[in-house]
Structure 1
Amino acid sequence: GLPATTTVEENTPAGVSVYTFNVTVSPLSSEGVTIYPTIINSNPLTKAFDITPVVTTGNPVLDYETMPKSFDLQIFVEDTSGRTDLNTLTVQVQDKNEPPVFQGNMAIQSKIMVRIYFMHWSFYLLTVGREKFHSVATDYFLNITVTDPEGLRSTKTVNINIINTNDERPYFTTKQRIYQIPEEQSPGTVVANITAKDPDDEDFPSRLFYSIQSSETYFSINPLTGVVQVARRIDREALSLRLNPNISVIVRVEDSPSGGQASEMEITIIIEDLNDNPPECNPSTFREERNENTTVGIFLLDLRNFCKDIDVDPPNNLFNFTGLSGFGSNKFALDSMSGRLVMTESIDLENPANLGAEIFSLTVRVQDIAWPNYSSNFIKVWYEQILCTSFSSKFKMLIKYGFFFISAGSSIGKVNARDKDWPPSVITYSIVAGGGTRDYTNIFWINPTEGDVKILARLDYETTQRYLLTVQASDQEKTATVSVTVNVLEVNDEEPVCSPNFYSFQIPVSLAVGTNINGFRIVCQDRDSDPRSFRYFINEGNVNNHFTFSPSAGSNTSRLILASRFDYDSGFDTNWIYRLRVYITDDNLLSARDKTTDLIKTGTVTLSIRIIPNPTTVITTTPGFTLVTKRENLYSESAWYVPFVITLGSLLLFGLLGYLVLLLAKCVCTRCPPACKKMTKLNTVFDGEARDPGNKK
């Protein structure tokens, strides 16, 4: 029944028979066919038909409006004897009147204008006015019916979803504009929590980005949370803040990391003055010389002229004078408010009761009025003229205090003796007692002719605070001695020693802010500093200021605290291992004396912290690779000279060996005994003469 032409209606369901044909097998092929009738090709190409017999498959659906109107199917068959046949079946698709059908996905449309297609007509659904869609309903449902000329109709529901566009600027919800914080807050301290909203996402949590536009660097802001934190040390006594303690910061919020809508707000942070500086006296050590029998009640010194407190605001910068003490302090009086020092008792050095009272060492405490009542000590030394009665000369002592940092060979004072005899004799000086320790026999040396006292070894306040020297003056006939007291002032020459100085631990990424990390505590000691004098700084490795110490100053123990949470999801944090370099200084501004950078000692502690991610966190790593180089010896046909050179070299080597063997054989034969030599055969010939061996004639 092939070739043939048949017809089928459009949209015919799968499995409907289209055409029936027969296959006759050749008598030579008793076993039937090997290849059953098969559609090996179609024009145009389609999978809409199959042979069982020829039926529609339903994939794709025969649509008169969208598919070709006719298909040529080539059908092939072969029997067991190898005979084949190929014929064509033409299938024509007939149009059928159907109701209108909406094309495309009309269930949800996300545009304001919706286009509806039907056959060759086009319909447009337009908005008729502009509305603030974020303040009214955002979903609209429209029932649309379309009818063809023959009365067939179709109805479809259209869902119009209004898309919210980024046309509104975010606004700040934080109303506070002025904040106050004390000075000297550790980095990471929270100053303000700035919040904002985006009208475009009023009912949804939107991602906003915060930044600081000001040029000042005292503060930083978390770009995702808006938390303003202290970024570095804030010293109210610094010149810029002393004149104006108000810091203005411009905070900017954006609804996109680059571009988009943005708003700005100015906040003012007022830095409060703390009583963190003790009063200072410059100089801190005084020297004065008075004659004996000085009038009682005479004004000696106004200490307030030499002392000040650099704190800015009262009562932090107010102080008084207390604690007058030391040898001879009962002979003086001190006004605590004015700092005026007066003598209350006359001193007669010739009076046996005043023996040894030629030098007075007075200690005065200068103390803050405000808490925590920091204080400093300074020493006032009086040098009195001494009248020696052992012989007619005056022995005058001028000695000043020695400090630890005075180098060996430096002069620390001078003695002077005078001889009233005429003509005056030459006076020589010597140290006859004192001035030694267990480790050093002689720490001081005196110039025998000038009386200049010098230091020969290192002075250490922590070992010996005072030296008593006996200096002798001699004119070759008579001698006189005087006691010299050398007080060693304490200076900051020892650095803090902390335990442990290295520590390594792990913490989870979800650790709460404010947690004492692994219960870690650092304990520090310093031989020459008060336990309240320590400060703790994380000088290296504290990326994004996640870590801080509490307390950051004023104690010899401190704990490691998590100051801010980790944020790896947004890319704000990238480090999973933090190596912190912690510096511990012993300044703390508590000691008015020696408040110079070269006298501040620093200890160090190293901390290694590994952040343990959540099990669901994916850590991006860069894949590594190893380059392996493999070398092989491959013979190239173009290198013909290689075997030639090898062969020639082998022949020369064998020839040389043969020659050496020959020489060796000759050498052996020449050195063999006669028995092994080759015998020579002689042919005798009678020459006509004979001799008798017995007859010698």
Structure 2
Amino acid sequence: MGIQQQPFRKRLMCETTTWLLFIFVFMISTIRGQIRYSVPEEMKEGSLIGNVAQDLGLDLRRLRSGRARIVSGETSQYTELKADKGILVVKERIDREELCGDVMPCSLSFEIILENPIELHRVTVEILDINDHAPTFKSNVIKLEISESATVGSHFDLEKKAIDDDVGTNGLQGYSLSQSDIFILNPYRIGSSRNVEMVLKKALDREKQDRVSLVLSALDGGNPQLSGTIEIIVTVLDANDNAPVCSQVEYKTNVKEDSSKGTILTTVTASDADEGLHGQVRYSISNAPKGALELFNIDEKSGMFTLVGELDYEKFRHFEIDVQASDEGGNADVCKVLIEVLDTNDNPPAINIMSASSTVAEDVKPGTVLTMMNVQDPDSNENGKVRCFLDDYDHFKIISTSNNFFTLITDSDLDRETKSAYNITVTCSDEGLPSLSKSVTLTLLISDVNDNAPVFERSSYEAYIVENNTPGLSIFTVKATDADWNQNARVSYILEDSSVNGVPVSSYVSVSADSGVIHAVRSFDYEQIKDFHFRVKAQDGGSPPLSSNVTVKIMIRDQNDNPPQVLYPVQTGGSLVAEMVPRSADVGYLVTKVVAVDVDSGQNAWLSYKLQKATDRALFEVGLQNGEIRTIRQVTDKDAVKQRLTVIVEDNGQPSRSATVVVNVAVADSFPEVLSEFTELTHDKEYNDNLTFYLVLALAVVSFLFITCLVVIISVKIYRWRQSRILYHSNLPVIPYYPPRYSDTLGTGTLPHVYNYEVCRTTDSRKSDCKFGRAGSQNVLIMDPSSTGTMQRIQSEKSILDEPDSPLEVSLSNTFCFCYFLCIHLFKCLFYQDSTFKCLMTMTSTMDNMSSAGERMTVQHLKRGRTGLTFSLIL
């Protein structure tokens, strides 16, 4: 026995110590925090109630280190604290009805304690009701005994009402009676929480039916709705022939709407001539308007009528309530209680919007009516007089048109682009003490009027497009915005009519009307057009429409679409051109120069020269930048007379384009040596039977040229004294003028200088009056500084003729000599020589000597840095 008592004592001492410690902690500690949760009943075990750590602002490590636990509360068995997660969960199923009954609200309260340092936190868990109980009756049957003399309309109280453990809307809401032609439920008591009344619909007759069986159903307000039933058994008794009689038909009383609960209003009295139980009178409210049963009550025995709710003058100003005085036999009398409610200033004004414009155009005139309001205060006298005013007086004002009618009007001009909507607050207050007020906010939208033209994002646009583009390519987009709204702000883009170089601009570009995207209609060529401009109009969709325009400039970017073109040496299919190099030529001897141009611009026109093929690559080289062909070693007797060089000219574009030129070089000291080498190619040609015809034709052409040159020389001599020295005595800058297809673009082309190749003479030219002058037929551009951007083209003939031995004069003299020489030899070959072919070969050899001498002189000029054009005779 002692062994069994020892553990019990130890456990008792331990528990006592724990509670003492708790009481001590509770006394010296304060509640650090308090949280409240709401959960529905009948939740499963382990369901989450709340995150205690988060709601109390505690760290999980603090909960674990402080050994957080629930230490108090008789209902702690329903909850469990998981300190490792910091959450509170359901430990055991919670039944609100079992726990709290009909107490509202139903809650569990307990404390959570932490140690080191000690903290105490209070937790309250409110249990919410669910519709888990159906209405039930205490018994299965209600037995009534009613006298057969009961009058139709008599009321019978069913004392055994239903019970629903749920509360609120889930609780008992009303009753229904099975269909019967004798009894019905009192419609004024169906929804009441008190006993249900049954009204006699038809007079009873015990001899015909001494028992009536009905079913009464009780209904709750849950979803789904639950119900309970009970059987009503009515036993018909013999008649009680005297009914109670009220002392007054009507009872009148006045009460202020702010009267407190429990105020006695009146006392209803009635008497019954019967004795005993049949003479005892009971009072009850038999008929009352909606809401009256919650406001008034009558004592069943004394008939004292009291106030049990809060009155509201504005809802119910007058009550007419039927009070029934009944005896035990079921006889009853009904009287009326008339209650007048007196007003107090407890209601603010009520604002009724009779007519309101939610949208108004921005161009309305001041004084335009926007809203009409009727303001009513349900209070009476001074408590019901109201006045209204606006919180914002910027653009609107409110005026009183008649009693309790107010009008909101515009007070100044409106602008939708400045403000598109207004929230107008109207405040109305009464004149009661204390004054009460109410406000209403009206939202007014300002509709748009087309009063703003579209505005482009930029004052002008510039765009670039690479040449050789695909037609239909999108170049860029113009964008215009309109401060208006909707249709008035819908911008359409239109290409204005104009021309570019005499061609309509619509054949160059097009504009998308909706998006403003500009498309290229054609493929552009930088070499033909470098830039152009046009105007785009932006027009809105208003009526009438407003518009604005902007200038757009399109600049074409160059593309490497043109290969280099060789100007010199000229490559002809039926000609044979050879450059002569003497065998005594030193290293670096200038053989000739390849001149090429590229009509592209920029780096696409930067040319480089390379030697692609050569008969002897160790003898010649080509300058990478200048195209000069020079010897790279001493010429020897072993070198072949005929040298063939292939030079490739490449530009710097991506991808690069190129052209090739074939240069024939003769390594010899005399013209006959070269002729013997190169004439082998001509011996294999077929002899032309019509040679005589062509020679006669050539003679006629040369004769014409001879006469023409003679006339020009005489004319120049006559008018030479009238010419002014424009070119050599002018301080104007000279800019070279290139052929139309080889113009320099933006100063980046390949012809930065003018090349004027000087005269080449034959070996015996110093003994003859016949000269081959240098070509001077180029044109120059002179920039006039007195006029901005003005370029003047002056034919070189007007200036060169002013100088002695001018290029034109020498050229004409050379032409004259050449024509003279050609005519003499042609006549000799046609009429005096036995062999025409041999004669022509001799004439060719002579002219080749003249050409070779001219070429050597040209090379010498090139080595001295001069520029010019070598006159070569090609046959």
Structure with the bigger percentage of strand? 1
Greater share of helix: 2
Q: Highest relative contact order (Cα 8 Å, sep 6+), 1 or 2? A: 1
